[in-house]
Structure 1
Amino acid sequence: MAGHSKWANIKHRKAAQDAKKGKIFTKLIRELTVAAQQGGGEPDDNPLLRTAMDKALASNMTKDTIQRAIDRGVGNNDADNMEELSYEGYGPAGVAILVECLTDNRNRTASDVRHAFNKQDGNLGTSGSVAFLFNTQGRMSFPAECGEEAIMEASLEAGAEDVVTHDDGIIEVVSSPQDFTAVKDALIAAGFEPESAEVGKYPETYSSIADADIAKKVVKLIDMLEDLDDVQNVYTNADFDEDILEQLE
C-alpha cells in the first residue's frame, strides 16, 4: 500500500480546491438526492446519506443546499431519472481504473467516458475486467501525532478491521462499509477527528509507476474523468513513486 496514503491526501486537497470553484457541487447534490431516494431522508437510518452529507459539509456546502437535495430525493422527483453505472478500463502502463457514475442519459455518459480513455492513451474495458481488483471499504486517515497505539485501541474496540501506518506517518483505519459510521463516530467521541473519511473502492494490489511521463498521463486521465458531470468517483490501483508525487502536487 506504499504511496496510497499520500495520493489520497492529494486527491482530497484537489477535491477541496474544486469545491471552492463550485466544480463538485453538482455531483454532491446528485449523490445526496439519490442516497435519500434509496434509503430515506434520515441520516441516522441511512448510512449512504450520512456519508454523502459528511462529504458535502466537508466541501463547504450549506445546510440549506444539502436539505434541498435530500428533500428532492425523498420527494422522488428528479432522482427518478438517475441511474448508477460503473465503467472499467485501463490507463497508461495498464493501471486499472474504475469509474462510478450517476446519470440520466447512459448514452451520453458512455460516450464521454470512452472519449476520456481514448484521449489519454487508455482503453475502456468490459464489465468485470477490473472490478475484481477492488474491495469496498471504509477508510479514515489520521495524522501521526494522534499515536498509532491510541488509534489502534480505539479503532479495534469500535469494530475496525485493520489499522495501517504509512511511510509518511499517516495512520489509516480500515472498516467494513457497514461499520464505517459506527467506527468513525467512536473515534470522534474518543477525541480523534479524521483528516479524511469515506467509503470507497480500494485495490487489493497496486501497480507501481516510476516514470514521470506515464504518471502525468495517468493523472490527466483521472482528472479528465473526474471533470465529467456524470462521474461521481474514480478509483485506480496506480502507485506513484514518492518523488513523482511531489512533482504532481
Structure 2
Amino acid sequence: MKRSLISSHQIIRTFASSPSPHSGHNKWSKIRHHKGAADKVRSKIFAKMALDISAAVKAGGGATDPALNAKLSNTLLKAKSLSVPKDNIEAAIKRGDSGAVDRGHSVTYEALLGEIGLVIECRTSNPTRCIHSVKSILNKVGGSLATSGYLFKRKGVVLVVLDNLNPFDKLFEDSLEAGGEDILQISSNLVEIITHPTQLTTVAHFLQEKGHSLSSYDLAYLPASGERVEIDEQLREKLSHLIETLEQDADAVEVYTNSVL
C-alpha cells in the first residue's frame, strides 16, 4: 500500500524556477556557482572532495565498489556533480584503500547572526585552530557562537535530476512509494526529496533502482519550523558574505542557515 508524503509543511508540486525553501543548505552547489576567485575555490573543493572520498573508502572497510559502500556512492555523486577530475577521484580512492587518510576531528558549531541561526560542520586536524578561525569569521560580521540547534531538524535530502524518461509525476509517485516525506521542485530539472534521516539511503537506492538520476543524497540541517526566515536586504548581504567566508575556510565542510538567502 502506498504511503502518503508526510510533512510538517505543505507539499509543493510546482514548477517554479525560484529556489525552494530548502535549497539554501547545499554548500556544494553554492560554491560551484560563485564567480569570484573561481580557480582558488575549485581547488579547495577538489581537495575537500578528495578527503571525503578517501574517508568514505576507509569508513566502508576499504570497499572501493560504490554498490557495496553507500557512503562512497554518495560521495562520488557529489564529486561528479562538481566536475572533480577522474584522476583525482581514482587517486583519492586508492589513498582510502591503502589507509593513507586522516579524517581528523569532525566538529559542529552552532552560531547566531542576530536572530538567524547557523550550523557549521567542520573536519579538522586542529580543533583549537578551527574554533578560533570560526569565531574570527563570525566576529567580523557581528555573529557569535551560540545555541541555535533548536532552530533546525536533521533530515535526509535527495536531489534528483529530471529527464524525459522520468518526469516529475513519475518521481512523485516513486518518492511516495519509497517513503519520502516531502518533495519540492527547485528548478526546471532538479527536485529535492526530504526523508527521515534513517530512511535516506533506502529512499535514494529505491529511486536509483527505479531509473532516476541522483545528483546527491546526504543528511542536512533544515529549519525546524519547515519554513525559512525572511530577512531584509542588508542582513541578507551580511549573511551571504558570512556563509561564503565560512565555506572557503579550509576546515569547513557544510554551512546551514534557517534563513532565506
Tell me which interval the TM-score lies in, with the shorter structure as reference length: 0.7 to 0.9
Q: What amino acid maps onto 2:29 in structure 1?
A: H
Q: Which moved more, 1:153-162 or 1:190-199?
A: 190-199
Identify the residue that residue 130 of structure 1 maps to in structure 2: 148
Provide TM-score, normalisation by structure 1: 0.79
Bigger proportion of residues as helix: 1
Q: Distance in 1 between matches of 2:101 and 2:215?
A: 33
SS at match of 2:43: coil
Could you tell me which of 116, 127, 138 is aligned with 1:95? 116
Percent identical across equivalent pairs?
26
1:183-222 aligned at under 5 Å gives the runs 183-194=203-214, 197-205=217-225, 206-222=227-243
Identify the residue that residue 236 of structure 1 maps to in structure 2: 257
Q: Distance in 1 between matches of 2:49 and 2:56?
A: 10
Provide TM-score, normalisation by structure 2: 0.75
Distance 1:213 1:164, change over 3 A: same
Could you tell me which of 30, 39, 58 is aligned with 2:81? 58
- 1:186 positional shift: 3.7
Instruction: Answer whether contact 2:54 2:95 (CA < 8 A) is retained.
Output: yes
- 1:84 positional shift: 0.8
Cα-Cα RMSD: 3.1
Identify the residue that residue 171 of structure 2 maps to in structure 1: 151
Distance 1:6 1:39, change over 3 A: closer
Could you tell me which of 62, 84, 92 is aligned with 1:41? 62
Q: Distance in 2 between matches of 1:44 and 1:190?
A: 16
SS at match of 1:221: helix
Instruction: Answer whether contact 1:141 1:170 (CA < 8 A) is retained.
Output: yes
Q: Which moved more, 1:231-240 or 1:15-24?
A: 15-24
Instruction: Answer whether contact 1:201 1:235 (CA < 8 A) is retained.
Output: yes
Q: Distance in 1 between matches of 2:156 and 2:75?
A: 15
Q: Distance in 2 between matches of 1:74 and 1:166?
A: 37
Could you tell me which of 108, 132, 136 is aligned with 1:111? 132
Deviation digits for residues 13-47 of structure 1 (CA, Å, limit 9, x no counterpart): 53255587323111111212222222233233332
Deviation digits for residues 55-77 of structure 1 (CA, Å, limit 9, x no counterpart): 11111112332232233233333
Could you tell me which of 220, 227, 240 is aligned with 2:248? 227
- 1:152 positional shift: 1.6
Instruction: Answer whether contact 1:37 1:74 (CA < 8 A) is retained.
Output: yes
Q: Which moved more, 1:30-39 or 1:212-221?
A: 30-39
Q: Distance in 2 between matches of 1:143 and 1:36?
A: 29
- 1:223 positional shift: 0.5
Q: Distance in 1 between matches of 2:90 and 2:31?
A: 25
Q: Distance in 2 between matches of 1:6 and 1:140?
A: 10
Q: Distance in 2 between matches of 1:154 and 1:139?
A: 13
- 1:171 positional shift: 4.0
Q: Kindly tell me the number of residue pairs found equivalent between the two proteins.
A: 235
Distance 1:73 1:177, change over 3 A: farther
Q: Distance in 1 between matches of 2:136 and 2:25?
A: 25
Identify the residue that residue 6 of structure 2 maps to in structure 1: none
**Unaligned segments of structure 2, at least 5 residues:** 1-8, 10-18
Distance 1:62 1:177, change over 3 A: farther
Instruction: Answer whether contact 1:144 1:170 (CA < 8 A) is retained.
Output: no
Identify the residue that residue 158 of structure 2 maps to in structure 1: 139
